[in-house]
Chains A and B, each alone.
Chain A
């Protein structure tokens, strides 16, 4: 069974440009989460989808960040325009709940560098 997949693994962009990160969750997982780790700091929650709906977006830093989850499958996180402080590693995770609930399974992350 395929795990959580994130694209790209690395991205280097200039300040002011746009970047789109993609996450493919484990098939059948309704819950999809985005997290970010800025260098040296803790991994912080950004938002939570249940299927295609945003359940909790309390961690989104500002309106330069836009997350979508098409048809409750894969998700994208767009940063527009990117700023220097957006640099970090962005993790995606998925899980399922109810009967057969699972812990969150994480992808390998996308390392974003804004220069």
Chain B
């Protein structure tokens, strides 16, 4: 069984400040980890993914995340927030890549303060 915990259902940061969205997972097998973003009135869009290899993964729009097995974490960061980053972010885990369901966290709504 797998599960995802996202700490903080709402996060607010000032424009230009660091964005840090937290994700911890539980998995009985080596995990595949994902961050998806949902902008207002749009569907889910993949930000980045960890499958194998380098534990620091870079995604679109300047986001990155680091897989830390010892901490069972996959936190999402961006050095400098932009107004366009306002959205809801979802962390997800699966047991395989390409043919396995995703288990999602409850989501974190990011607000950017001008």
* Interface set of A (CB-CB < 8 Å, partner B): 4, 31, 33, 35, 41-45, 48, 50, 56, 59, 91, 93, 95-98, 101-109
Contacts and interface: CB of A to CB of B under 8 A. Distances in A.
Given A31-B98, A43-B44, A95-B98, 15 more contacts: A4-B43, A42-B104, A43-B104, A44-B104, A45-B103, A56-B101, A91-B43, A91-B44, A93-B44, A97-B97, A101-B98, A103-B34, A103-B49, A103-B98, A108-B42
Contacts of B96: 97
Contacts of B105: 42
B99 A50 contact: yes
B90 interface: yes
B11 interface: no
Interface residues of B, number: 22
Contacts, number: 59
Interface in B63-114: 90, 92, 96-99, 101-107
The 10 A-B pairs of least Cβ separation, nearest first, read A101-B98, A97-B98, A97-B99, A108-B43, A106-B44, A43-B104, A42-B106, A45-B101, A106-B43, A42-B104
Contact of A101 (B92, B99, B101, B104): B99
Contacts of A109: 43
Interface of B: 4, 34, 36, 42-46, 49, 90, 92, 96-99, 101-107
B36 A102 contact: no
Nearest to B32: A103
A57 B73 CA distance: 29
A22 B92 CA distance: 24
B42 A48 contact: no
